[in-house]
């Protein structure tokens, strides 16, 4: 009789160990699955933010080109030409709208470069002058900081010429 009780006790203990090991396995599998889901969500969020940054930087770059055209027209216009001044102010308004979005989602370096462009535009409107070389330096600063953030370059890649990246005047 004692061997029967011992056998039953041993069987019950073995069954409990099987149940416990199954529960532990399920717990660790669920924990691993949750960690994988959280990692996937983080990757998707990072991709969405990258996509939004790319859109914001591209919109700003296009508005910088419009601002250059407007500032060039303003610098060539006479003092009474209100249309040129209004065009430059409208271009500055578009840059400000882009700046506000970049302030929310952009890197500090890109934000600083964008602020320098805004200051340049403000000064150009105020003085009714346009410094093409100064403009290209500001544009290069924005472009380089945006590239650095978006493609994580180490600076060793060859850069196109500054003139190739300048926004051309409209005829």
Per-residue pLDDT 10s for the chain (171 aa) are: 667 666 656 666 766 777 777 777 888 888 888 878 878 777 776 678 888 999 999 999 999 999 999 999 999 998 888 999 999 999 999 999 999 999 999 999 999 999 999 999 999 999 999 999 999 999 999 999 999 988 874 444 334 333 333 333 333
pLDDT score of 161? 35
| Range 168-171 contact pairs with CB under 8 angstroms and sequence separation of 24 or more | 169/68, 169/69, 169/72, 170/69
Three-class secondary structure of residue 67 per DSSP: helix
CA pair distance 80, 70, nearest whole angstrom: 16
CA pair distance 51, 139, nearest whole angstrom: 21
pLDDT score of 22? 77
CA pair distance 38, 49, nearest whole angstrom: 16
CA pair distance 96, 98, nearest whole angstrom: 5
Position of tokens 């003085």? 127
Contact 153, 147 (CB under 8 A): yes
């Amino acid at each position: 009789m004692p061997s029967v009780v011992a056998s039953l006790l041993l069987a019950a203990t073995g069954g409990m160990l099987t149940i416990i090991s199954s529960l532990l396995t399920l717990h660790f599998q669920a924990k691993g699955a949750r960690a994988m889901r959280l990692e996937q969500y983080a990757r998707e969020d990072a991709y969405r933010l990258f996509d939004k940054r790319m859109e914001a930087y591209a919109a700003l770059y296009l508005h910088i080109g419009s601002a250059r055209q407007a500032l060039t027209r303003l610098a060539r216009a006479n003092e009474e030409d209100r249309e040129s001044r209004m065009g430059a102010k409208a271009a500055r308004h578009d840059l400000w709208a882009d700046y506000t979005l970049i302030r929310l989602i952009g890197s500090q370096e890109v934000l600083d470069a964008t602020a320098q462009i805004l200051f340049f535009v403000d000064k150009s409107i105020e003085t009714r002058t346009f410094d093409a070389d100064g403009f290209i330096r500001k544009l290069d600063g924005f472009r380089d900081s945006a590239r650095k953030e978006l493609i994580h370059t180490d600076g060793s890649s060859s850069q196109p010429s500054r003139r190739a990246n300048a926004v051309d005047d409209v005829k």
